Amino acid sequence: MSEPPFDCAVVGAGPAGLAAATAAAGEGLRVALVDAGPRPGGQFWRHAEGSTGAGQHDWATFTRLADALRRGIAAGLIHHVPLHQVWTVDRAGPAPFTLRLTPAYEGAGGEGPPVGQVAARAVVLCPGGYDRQLPVPGWTTPGVMAAGGVQALLKGQGTVAGRRVVVAGTGPFLLPVATGLAAAGARVVALCEAASPARWLRRPLAAAAVPGKAVEGAGYAAGLLRHRVPYLPRTVVTRVHGTQEVTAVTVERVDGSGRVVPGRTRRLDADLVAFGWGFTPSLELALALGADTERGADGSLVATVDTARRATVPGVYLAGEATGVGGAAKAVAEGELAGLTAAVDAGRPVSRRRGRRLAARIARAETFADAMHRAHPVPEHWTEWLSEETRLCRCEEVSVGDVQRAQDGLGAGDPRTAKLLARPGMGRCQGRVCGFATASLLASRAGRPVTGDDLRAPAKRPLGAPVTLAELAALPEPEEPGRPDGPEAPPPAPSVDTA
Ligand SMILES: Cc1cc2nc3c(=O)[nH]c(=O)nc-3n(C[C@H](O)[C@H](O)[C@H](O)COP(=O)(O)OP(=O)(O)OC[C@H]3O[C@@H](n4cnc5c(N)ncnc54)[C@H](O)[C@@H]3O)c2cc1C
């Protein structure tokens, strides 16, 4: 006999997913918490085994959530499945949702058999996001990494990815990366910030809405001073030098729109370049479930949710970066609210006051996130830093020129058509890395802004993670549509509990 479905399955054990799973279990729901990582914490609280939280921010919140997780597991309410990725959610089984799982890597998951699937009545998606990358000439040279990847190596393994480092891009996330590397012994030769910090002065109230952020920012500023890290505003890396490995970068001053200011070029020696241009929400599972999307404050595609975190598909809830990039504190509040709403919709009585308090916290965090995105936009004219030979899609080795020729000669005006005619986004990463860049390039050459449809096409991926052919072959045959014992739609949502 198969196991009864969980009341709720939570995907992702980062700040949002941990808060969602523990809040839902706190209201008595049986929860499955599936996460690709070996330990809970996600990207923000990524840590090595036995960590005491040294160098981490807001570790007290993590400790509180991790304790609640342990209590939930001990009470038999939370079933934690680490080291497994959800690669698809199907709706053709006896439960409303069946999550198909694959080990995060070959041999992951320890000695027991890998968990193949989890059935649930509701799903809370908290998959976070990944680094947004903008290609520049030379960016595929060994020694160029995403800033998030550099940070993940440092936090997860204590590995310092280079000795002479340039950190470049835009946004406050560059600060912990630069100070973390410097504190770990790397020489950070420059932090190149494309925007001007003066942009924050246009929205002082937004910064004041979350006082903890100002304190965090002051700490990073002190760290840059202590380690003598040069902070170069309105400066970008326009070329990476080196053939076998990175040896240097060209940095240039830019104006407020990202256009290079002539005559302000410098060359800096480096063996590691950490690029960070913000994050892109992970939307594979939300899109596969048919959830609606919209443009977020930073122009990214984000999943649409109501004020209680319900997606536009009944029984699906979302929290964290997938609904808009804004940091861990925002993700925690959203996750808690999503878990509580799942409990309300399952018929549990939940305090309205708690819902209102969380909604207010989320609104303050959104005000801050909005100001952050306006202060650190992707520079409008960044595609002018590219040359025809610059590689756009690493997986399929497609150059900027290839895409330009498909646009000019074959009428490929949007990323989907460009993918069919020139192959950007056709490889293993399925456009995760090049999707935004391809959309920006095509739109800027057509003299129009990037649209939601441009971003939606590369974000749609039938498989949320790579799987083996054996796993695909093991899928049950799809049922005939309209069968009388088909999956039940969850009941309609009761009224939102944050009003
Ligand atoms: C690489 C990286 C490093 C970062 N480092 C920092 C930092 O040092 N400081 C900082 O302020 N911000 C950092 N951020 C931003 C930070 O992630 C967010 O502010 C915050 O962690 C968001 O919380 P979340 O719960 O939405 O997502 P996350 O913390 O990203 O958690 C999502 C979790 O879901 C899991 N997951 C995703 N998809 C699946 C799937 N299909 N199946 C199973 N599990 C899945 C992931 O493995 C992850 O554990 C980083 C972001 C990235 C991408």
Pairing between β-strand 235-241 and β-strand 248-254 as defined by DSSP bridges: antiparallel
Atom number of ligand 1 nearest to Cα 327: 19
- Does any ligand 1 atom lie closer than 6 A to the CB of residue 103? no
Residue 404 Cα, ligand 1 centroid: separation in angstroms?
34
Average pLDDT per block of 10 residues along the chain, 499 residues long? 84 98 98 96 92 88 98 98 94 91 82 82 97 97 98 93 98 96 97 90 67 81 95 98 98 96 95 97 96 94 97 98 96 98 97 95 94 94 97 97 98 96 94 95 96 92 87 76 46 41
Predicted pLDDT at 141: 98
Measure the CA dihedral 5/7/8/9, to 10°: -20
- Does any ligand 1 atom lie closer than 6 A to the CB of residue 176? yes
Residues paired with residue 6 on neighbouring β-strands, in sequence order: 120
Residue minimizing CA distance to atom 9 of ligand 1: 44
Predicted pLDDT at 494: 41
DSSP string, 14-29: SHHHHHHHHHHHHTT-
Predicted pLDDT at 203: 67
Predicted pLDDT at 480: 58
Round to whole Å and give the CA distance between 182 and 162.
11
One-letter amino acid at 325 equals: V
Predicted pLDDT at 56: 85
- Does any ligand 1 atom lie closer than 6 A to the CB of residue 148? yes
Predicted pLDDT at 333: 98
Predicted pLDDT at 205: 66
Residue minimizing CA distance to atom 49 of ligand 1: 42
Residue minimizing CA distance to atom 20 of ligand 1: 328
Predicted pLDDT at 434: 96
Predicted pLDDT at 111: 63
CA angle at 397 for the pair 391 and 400, rounded to the nearest 5° = 35
Predicted pLDDT at 2: 61
- Does any ligand 1 atom lie closer than 6 A to the CB of residue 279? yes
Residue 225 Cα, ligand 1 centroid: separation in angstroms?
28
One-letter amino acid at 308 equals: A
pTM above 0.85, yes or no: yes
Residues paired with residue 377 on neighbouring β-strands, in sequence order: none
